[in-house]
Amino acid sequence: MSDLIFWFIVSFISGSIPYSLIISSLIIKKDVRDVGDGNPGATNAWIIGGWQIGTIAMILDISKSAIPVSLAIREFSSISGFNSLAISLIALAPILGHAWSPLLKFKGGKALASSWGSWIALTGGIAFPLAMMFLAPLHAVQKNHAVTVTLSILGLLVASYYFIMVFAIPVSGLAIVLFGILNLLVVIYKHRKEYSEGILFRGWIRNVSNLFG
């Protein structure tokens, strides 16, 4: 229990650091919350600072989850009675820290980069290319980011048992499924307003539909 509390706190604190806000403020003297949807995330850092600032912010936001979760997994895996619930909670901690950062008066971002960081740590990196397989076609077909992200996480959940059997990953399938469900709940809550827009098909999809309509 003491290990769980320690790593949960460490992971939460790591996740709560608003790197996108810090990087944009230090380098280009701009606040990422002044653009886009107003959240302090890597997407808005990309919008306000270009791909260079956006890439740095994205790497830091992914790493602030991936690093502490990976370290926790390494420690917990050597403990008898490896607890899947404990690992899933630790993996969720940096996401909660990013989504409700005490450094920003509990007004954080939408926890997308931090989510991918935890997924990468839990799956030994397998989740990164797997997520791209879901994100790329969904983004190409429609514009509602909330729909794209939600379906991608669902895809990771459905595929979890497959890559557990094929690849040697650090944790159990139960830990991944528990984490995936909790992660999905956070993402749904943080994107709750965007769902009302529904699926926004891109222009080329509508053009193709008209051709065959």
Q: pLDDT tens digits, residue range 6-22?
A: 999 999 999 999 998 89
CA torsion sign for 79, 158, 151, 130 is: positive
Distance of CA 128 to CAs 49, 74, 163, 165, 167, Å? 24, 19, 12, 17, 14
Rounded to two decimals, the pTM is: 0.88
Amino acid at 20: S
What pLDDT score was predicted for residue 70? 93
**Residue that wins the pLDDT comparison between 112 and 213:** 112
Any idea which residue has 């280009």 for tokens?
28
